[in-house]
Chains A and B, each alone.
Chain A
Amino acid sequence: MYSAKVMDHFTNPRNVGEIPDADGIGAEGNPTCGDVMQIFIKVKDDTIVDAKFKTFGCGAAIAVSSMITEMIKGKTIDEALAISKETVANELGGLPAQKMHCSNLGADALKKAIEDYRNKKK
């Protein structure tokens, strides 16, 4: 059902946890209808220097969380904002159709974390 890359990120997720002094925190999803992802970012000179996640959800949701936290490290805020659900799914070698929208919460959670970072900076 899942690609080898999804299974790898699910069974060996990268960047699990919280960043206590995070510059931005974003959450997306709802447990009633599926998965919930929480993303923490640390930003220095407009660049994401660290990212961690906490996720409640299925294999796909966990793999997406792991993948996106890997993808954004070292990226500028603008580069990170350009990441879409499709980009994450492609990096994972594809997701099953029914998981594409419900479990692919990474890009939305990331946008919220960046929003939070920008609000805090003001």
Chain B
Amino acid sequence: MRKRYFDHVATNPLDVRVFDAMMPYFTEDFGNPLSIYDLGAKAKEAIEKARAHVASLINSKSSEIIFTSSGAEANNFALRGIALARQNEGKHVIVSKMEHHSILNSARFLEKMGFVVTFLPVDKYGIVAPDTVRKSITKETTLISIIHASSEVGTIEPIKEIGQIAKEKGIIFHTDAVAAAGNIPVDVKELGVDLLSMAAHQFYGPKGAGALYVREGLRIVPLIYGGIQENGRRAGTENVPAIVGMGRAAELAKDEMADRIEQAKKLRDKLIKGVSGIENIYLTGHPVPISRDSQRENRLPAHASFTVEFIEGEAMLLLLAAKGIYAASGSACSSKALKASPVLLSMGVSSNLAQGSIVFTLGAGSTEEDIDYLLSEFPQVIKRLREMSPYAKGWGMKGEGGECTVQK
């Protein structure tokens, strides 16, 4: 059976061209970039070339890019590194409820360290209102971190507007652009961000490669101490093949972005239109604008997410997988922690409905035929599970059924 991969926010296959670029650095040009002989120099040259490509993708200088092992590391680094570097000026940090766990849990770590953290609410589309950010700022605020685009609901945040507020107030502004960078145009100057996180596997680079953009002149406390790699800001012998891969993936993403976006949007819109025709199913995140003249879309081009009433996400994922369709869900049952997606809950989705979360994300390999196949199979999966569900016939609306037998 053909595999139809609709989980591109989870990860992506490596682009073969990226793979080819990486290959020599595993076995032939394996030198340590710090070594002074030619083998070292060759590795050093390769990572600097990669750095230039990554910088170019987000319109920064090469010297402003610090390579990390992942997007999560970049997020940890940004939050901890800036909060600690500026703790004498204040101990208040602002994040939103849309953030990834690597931001939320870093923020909770800061709380334990004595910082005060504000977790900003969002509207029903998951948008952080710039005015809410402005109102939350205190004299103690040193850092604001807002996600660029949500991998769960596809919503793109008003980063530029929030950046203006941060600049005006002299507060450092970080954005987690892991789901955005490489997939939509990201320009650090236009956005007015001081720090930005990214991950290579989100744009067909390797896993284990990420980067943090840190604006020139900004002081940041390292997360990893040791040698002088990355200008002493991130120790550890560089993962040269992965960095080379990230550079090549960034180069390709920049060159091909316009085409990739156009293709993704076409398929996404077909998917959303098709799925929206099913009864009792709701789009989550920002709706696609009706008019295509709109300069800015508030939804990732390859992202379609829904909640399906009366049934549960994990069961949907398993039945879809049995048909060769791979998707994601934010339901409690499908998470290892057995907790419903905090992002959906913060958008006002009820915990019952959040159980029916399903996320389809498209990528370079997605075809129109894949969407047709999904649209023919998905309604059957829903029908089958609804036939099993006590809720589908209106039962349970008055709270029948027992209490939770266990605390989750």
Contacts and interface: CB of A to CB of B under 8 A. Distances in A.
A108 B405 contact: yes
A55 B401 contact: no
B396 A36 contact: yes
Contacts of A55: 388-390
B333 A30 contact: no
Given A16-B387, A32-B351, A58 B315 contact: yes
A28 B405 CA distance: 8
Contact of B315 (A36, A59, A102, A108): A59
B310 A34 contact: no
Contacts of A59: 314-315, 318
B401 A27 contact: yes
Interface string B278-320: 0000000000000000000000000000000011111100110
Nearest to A100: B406
Interface in A25-40: 27-36, 38
B406 A30 contact: no
Interface string A45-86: 000000001111111011000000000000000000000000
Contact of B390 (A7, A10, A11, A54): A54
Specify the main secondary structure of chain B where it touches its partner: loop
B408 interface: yes
Contacts of A13: 388
B259 interface: no
B407 to A, nearest CB: 8
Contacts, number: 103
B10 interface: no
B387 A33 contact: no
Contacts of A54: 388-390, 395
B134 to A, nearest CB: 34
A56 B408 contact: no
A51 to B, nearest CB: 14
B336 A98 contact: yes
Interface of A: 7, 10-11, 13, 16, 27-36, 38, 53-59, 61-62, 98, 101-103, 105, 108, 112
Given A54-B388, A103-B333, 11 more contacts: A31-B351, A32-B352, A33-B408, A57-B312, A58-B331, A59-B314, A62-B388, A101-B406, A102-B333, A102-B408, A108-B402
